[in-house]
Homo-oligomer: A and B are copies of this chain.
Amino acid sequence: MLENLKQRVYKMNMMLPKNNLVTMTSGNVSGRDPETNLVVIKPSGVLYDEMTPDDMVVVDLDGNVVEGKLKPSVDTATHLYVYRHRNDVNGIVHTHSPYATSFAALGRSIPVYLTAIADEFGCAIPVGPYAKIGGEEIGKAIVDYIGESPAILMKNHGVFTIGNSPEAALKAAVMVEDTAKTVHLSLLLGTPDVIPDEEVKRAHERYLTKYGQ
């Protein structure tokens, strides 16, 4: 079932090591099928190199395994909480990518210091509180703190990104690490001027309407 979504979620999971966002078995991507509300997610603790599309696990929004021979990610309850409370979200990515997580460790948000942040995120990248892994606590924190942003930093932990597809959430995960690295490097030399809110809004709308094909 959901063969196409399994292929897409598998492919986006494989983009995590390709973009150096994960180590060993860390990180995961899920995708929701908008018609059935079923969710396809990475299995728990499997090496990326050894993973196949068939290893993806299908769960319903209550966490029951509908199909799959492996256990789903330990972050499944987190993903499902977000899907239940955000109808606009059909893809979620979780990583411990190092530069973004260096801000997360400190519980520190990333201001709009770069046009790339204005374009991709449209606002400062917010930070959520420390929350326990494995239950709904992180999911609730994401929903409470992420606002309009497609990315959030979780204190002492890592990064979660959301999108209307697994591909959109993956792009946000790549871009949060990319911009976090540049901002980190800048902060070692000084403090950039923040781009004013009005200009951030203008730039983000231009990006959403004019960029791409």
Measured CB to CB, the residues of A under 8 A from B are 23-26, 43-46, 70-71, 74, 96, 98-99, 101-103, 105-108, 113-116, 119, 130, 132-134, 155-158, 171, 174-175, 178, 181-193, 195, 199, 202-203, 206, 210-213
Contacts and interface: CB of A to CB of B under 8 A. Distances in A.
A181 B150 CA distance: 25
Number of copies: 4
Shortest 3 CB-CB contacts between residues of A and residues of B: A45-B212, A102-B185, A105-B186
Given A45-B212, A175-B23, A184-B185, A101 B114 contact: yes
6 contacts: A44-B212, A99-B185, A102-B182, A102-B188, A103-B189, A132-B202
Given A70-B213, A71-B213, A24 B171 contact: yes
A155 B71 CA distance: 41
